[in-house]
Amino acid sequence: MKRTVLEIVLALAMAGAAAFGYMSWKQVQGSKAAIEELTKTSEEATAKIEEAEKSAKAASEELEAMGKESEAASAKAGQFDAVKAGLSSGATLADLEAAYKKEKNLSPERLIGLATLRMLTKGAEDPGTIEAYKKALALSDWSNRKNTICAAQIGLAATGEKVEVMADCLPKGSPKMAEGHSKDDGHADHGKDDPHGKGAPAAKEDGHGKKDDAHAKKDEHAVEADAHSKDGEKTAEKPAEKHATPHWDYEGDMGPARWVKEFPTCGKGKKQSPLNIKGPFVKQRVDLAPAYKSAPLTMLNNGHTIQVNIPEGSKLRIDGIAYDLLQFHFHRPSEEQIDGKPMAMVAHFVHKSADGKLAVIGVLLKEGNENPNIKTLWSNLPPGEGPPVDVPSVTFNPASLLPKELDFWSYEGSLTTPPCTEGVRFFILRTPVNISKEQVNAFPFKLNARPVQPQNNREITISQAPGDAGWLRDAMAQATQENAPMAFEGVAKL
């Protein structure tokens, strides 16, 4: 009996000890889990603190940088105030306006300078400031005058005019400049007065431009077209989406009929190009003397045409006045028509005189035998739309594309691409040059020609080469009607 009681007591003691041990083990496990949780929370807190310290350091550095920028901006503001104060009397503006008054046509760069000086002197609300900026924008092509166009757009935006500044005109990393607000309705739109355009840029002044500055010095086919790529068939069929606004094209919603919306001169000008060359013609003696030189080949596909940029040295003399050959480019089909019919293509040679006047020689290309000089060019087409491509291994002379006879039709016209600036003298050579059907089809654009424009009573003159019997026949006929001395005068002209 006593033994049984002891066994029961021992069993109870052992059970109690086991329960106590289990409870102690559970408590230890719970403490361990709590410690692990606290450790994890502590590590997360430490990471957050480190991240906060990094953010605080970055914010501090940014504030320091902003402080330096603020100091620089303050210094520039002080310089600007000093400039404005110095010009406030208006004497400098008056002197400049007096000097420019003697010149009939100011260049876009001079107009920008005049507009900026007027703004500094008379303020952004001055109508003359706005007019000068707008005129500079209208006269600038989108290819070779990017800086001028940017200055005009930024200037107009500063006056509160409706204009969207091209992204290329803004410093890298800067937000898009808000459009200017009209004083009438306070709303902005995408209107630009009449600039050019990839854009050119865009370049020299017959409508086609380089995109080097977006269209640098030799990119006058902003003065006529932007260029084409080897896969240009697709480019021509689908309007590119790479151009700075306002964009233009040869087909669709951005085609020639819509150019006037962004480029008023294209629709309102009275001396637009190209023309349908048809009689009656006015006879005229003009000495046309190209003196082109060989140079390493530089080609450009500017989104509207294929263009060849020409370094300094190639000249054209018109009655003794020298013009520099800037570039030549191509249209398909020919923009000029002869008695209502276009030719397969045309090459436009764009020239500029020292006083800024433009002259374009048009070489008509008719379908026929393969042209070895075109073959050279087509073999080195740029791979796609983009900046100029140098081909130093190939030397090319632009004169190789000219016919032997330089008889021509001539008229006063305009750029054949936006902004359609007038005052361009055209010489369309009467003798065409061959180009094969395969070469025409290899040109990257199926269509890049502006439709012919109204003649508006303009004279189309015709020049005959020395020795042409027509001159002698006409002189003799006139002499018979009037007096003999005129016959000798006619012969002397030969």
Beginning with the edge strand found earlier in the chain, give each strand of the sheet holding 276-277 in spatial order. Answer: 276-277, 337-338, 341-342
Q: What are phi and psi of 291, to 5 degrees?
A: -140, 75
pLDDT score recorded for residue 22: 80
Number of other residues whose CB lies within 10 A of the CB of residue 244: 23
Give the bridge partners for 229, in sequence order. Answer: none
Kindly state the DSSP code that residue 317 receives in the 8-state scheme: E
Give the bridge partners for 282, in sequence order. Answer: 461
Give the bridge partners for 291, in sequence order. Answer: 315
The total number of residues shown for the chain amounts to 494
CATH superfamily, domain at 268-463: Alpha carbonic anhydrase (3.10.200.10)
What pLDDT digit, counting tens, does each position of 327-352 carry? 999 999 999 999 999 999 999 999 99
Q: CA dist 53 to 47, 50, 216, 479, 493, Å? A: 10, 5, 49, 101, 91
DSSP string covering 383-430: SSSSS-EEEEEEEE-GGGGS-S---EEEEEEE-SSTT--EEEEEEEES
**pTM (whole model) above 0.75:** no
Query: What positions carry a catalytic annotation?
Result: 304
- Cα 282–chain centre separation: 37
pLDDT score recorded for residue 204: 42
Backbone CA torsion sign across 293, 210, 266, 233: positive
Backbone CA torsion sign across 233, 238, 240, 241: negative
Determine contact, residues 236/212, Cβ cutoff 8 Å: no
For residue 316 the two structure tokens come to 């054209």
Q: Which helix (H) or strand (E) holds 306?
A: strand 306-309
Give the bridge partners for 328, in sequence order. Answer: 308, 349
pLDDT beneath 50: ranges in the chain: 143-144, 176-245, 465-494
Determine contact, residues 296/390, Cβ cutoff 8 Å: yes
The torsion of the CA quartet 210, 318, 287, 291, rounded to 10 degrees, works out to -50
Determine contact, residues 171/158, Cβ cutoff 8 Å: no
Domain ranges of the chain: 268-463
